Structures are given as structure tokens and as C-alpha cells.
Copies of this chain bind each other. A is one copy, B any other.
Amino acid sequence: MTGISRTPDPPYYAVIFTSRRARRHEGYEAMADRMVELAREQPGFLGMESVREGALGITVSYWESTGAIEGWRRHVEHQEAQRRGREDWYEAYSVRVARVERARAFDREKE
């Protein structure tokens, strides 16, 4: 679980990853933590929001450009995590790449 990301003004990009985890998930938590840590180090990374409720999870990561997303997708360690995800950890998932065009935020403490 993360917080709400502070992102710059649009446009930027979002990767919406929705997943249903398999019952068998040895090694999943360590991988998930490692992927968050690694994603934060990538060029063009802007933020990440992630929530899991039982089997269902939504992770949205934010990026400066589609090139940054492509770089992350092809990262060797991330490729290995993707492979293990398909083989072991996920029953199903969807990945959507979207261009953020408008954004607004509300924070009670700042009103």
C-alpha cells in the first residue's frame, strides 16, 4: 500500500496494472517490494499508487513519457518478474497505458 502520488501537471503517462493473484504466491511479496524499489530508480518515474484487497490489486505508476515506460518494461529484472508473474503469481491481469490529460487533487488540510 502506498499513498497518493504527487505528480506534475499533465500531460504525463499512467500504467494501470490490475491483477488477480493466484492462491500460490511464494516469493510474491519480496518481488513486489523489489519492483517498487526498482521502478522508483528508473528514468522518467513520477510516482506509484498501489492497493491490494484480497486477490485483487490495482497498481498505477506514473511516467514522463512512453519511452520511460518502455524502458521499465524491458528492464531485465522486471522482465523476470513479469515471467514469474505469468507462471506463478497471477491468475489474470490487465495492463493499460494511458496519457493523463487532466488532473485535480483535493487535500482537506490545504483547503
Contacts and interface: CB of A to CB of B under 8 A. Distances in A.
Interface of A: 1-5, 7, 10, 14, 16, 18-20, 22, 49-54, 56-58, 60, 66, 86, 90-109, 111
* Secondary structure class of chain A's binding surface, majority of residues: strand
Nearest to A93: B106
A99 to B, nearest CB: 5
Contacts of A86: 106, 108, 111
Copies of this chain in its oligomeric complex: 2
Contacts of A53: 1, 51-53
Contacts of A104: 94-95
A4 B93 contact: yes
